[in-house]
Structure 1
Amino acid sequence: MADINGNWLGTYWQDEMPSLFEATFVQSGNVFNGSILDDNYLGEATVSGEIIGRNISFTKLYLITSPSPVTYTGTVSEDEDYMQGKWSIGSRYSGLWEARRHGENLIVDLQTRLEMQTLLTTSKNP
Structure 2
Amino acid sequence: MANLSGSWLGTYWQQGNPTRFEATLIQGGNTLSGNILDDSYLGEAVLKGEVIGRKISFTKRYLANSQYIIYYIGTVSEDENFMQGKWQIGRYTSGTWEANRSNEDLMIELKNFLSKKLPVSLS
Which structure 1 segments of 5+ residues have no match? 107-126
Q: Match for residue 102 of structure 2?
A: 102
Moved over 3 A (4+): none
**Aligned: 1:5 with 2:13:** no
Whole-Å separation in 2 of the counterparts to 1:105 and 1:41: 28
Q: Match for residue 85 of structure 1?
A: 85
Which letter does structure 1 place at the counterpart of 2:86?
K
Q: Match for residue 64 of structure 1?
A: 64
CA contact (8 A) 1:71 1:88 kept: yes
Which structure 2 segments of 5+ residues have no match? 107-123
TM-score, normalised via structure 1 length: 0.81
1:39-89 CA distance string (max 9 Å, x none): 001100000000111000000000013410000000000000000000000
TM-score, normalised via structure 2 length: 0.83
CA contact (8 A) 2:27 2:33 kept: yes
Which letter does structure 2 place at the counterpart of 1:86?
K
Q: Secondary structure at the match of 2:91?
A: coil
Q: Match for residue 24 of structure 1?
A: 24
Percent identity, aligned pairs only?
60
Whole-Å separation in 2 of the counterparts to 1:28 and 1:8: 17
Q: Match for residue 75 of structure 1?
A: 75
Whole-Å separation in 1 of the counterparts to 2:46 and 2:37: 9
- Between Structure 1 and Structure 2, which shows a larger proportion of helix residues? 1
